[in-house]
Amino acid sequence: MQQANTIDGRAIARAVRTEVRSKVDAWTAGGRRPPYLTVVLVGDNPASASYVRGKMRASAQAGIAGDTLRFESSLTEESLLGVIDRLNADRSVDGILVQLPLPGHINDRRIIARLSPDKDVDGLHVVNAGRLAAGQAGFVPCTPAGIMELLRRSGITTSGKRAVVVGRSNLVGKPLAQLLMQKGADATVTVCHSRTRNLSVVCREADILVAAIGRAGLITAGMIKPGAVVIDVGINRVDDPARERGYRLAGDVDFEAARRVAGWITPVPGGVGPMTIAMLLSNTLFAAQRHAAGNNNRA
What does the binding site for ligand BQF look like in residue numbers (CB under 6 A)? 51, 54, 100, 235, 268-270, 273-274, 276-277
23, 99, 118, 252: the catalytic one is: 99
Q: Which CB atom, from 118 or from 122, has the smaller least distance to ligand BQF?
A: 122
Q: What is the smallest separation between the CB atom of 188 and ligand BQF, expressed in angstroms?
A: 28
Q: Which CB atom, from 268 or from 285, has the smaller least distance to ligand BQF?
A: 268
Q: Which CB atom, from 41 or from 202, has the smaller least distance to ligand BQF?
A: 41
The answer to whether 119 and 87 are in contact (CB under 8 A) is yes
Active site annotation includes 99: yes
Active site annotation includes 183: no
Q: Which CB atom, from 189 or from 277, has the smaller least distance to ligand BQF?
A: 277
Q: What is the smallest separation between the CB atom of 42 and ligand BQF, expressed in angstroms?
A: 13
Q: What is the smallest separation between the CB atom of 252 and ligand BQF, expressed in angstroms?
A: 12
Q: What is the smallest separation between the CB atom of 108 and ligand BQF, expressed in angstroms?
A: 12
Distance of alpha carbon 98 from alpha carbon 80, whole angstroms: 10
Taking the CA of residue 180 as centre, how many other CA atoms within 13 Å lie in the half-sphere pointing to its CB? Answer: 28
The answer to whether 255 and 270 are in contact (CB under 8 A) is no
**DSSP track, 35-97:** PEEEEEEES--HHHHHHHHHHHHHHHHTT-EEEEEEE-TT--HHHHHHHHHHHHH-TT--EEE
Distance of alpha carbon 230 from alpha carbon 267, whole angstroms: 10
Distance of alpha carbon 277 from alpha carbon 268, whole angstroms: 15
Q: Which CB atom, from 83 or from 97, has the smaller least distance to ligand BQF?
A: 97
Q: What is the smallest separation between the CB atom of 134 and ligand BQF, expressed in angstroms?
A: 27
94, 122, 207, 232: the catalytic one is: 122
Residue of minimal Cβ distance to ligand BQF: 273
Residue 162: phi and psi, rounded to 5, are -95, 115
CB-based contacts of 260: which residues, under 8 Å, 6+ apart? 1, 2, 3, 4, 221
Catalytic amino acids?
55, 99, 122
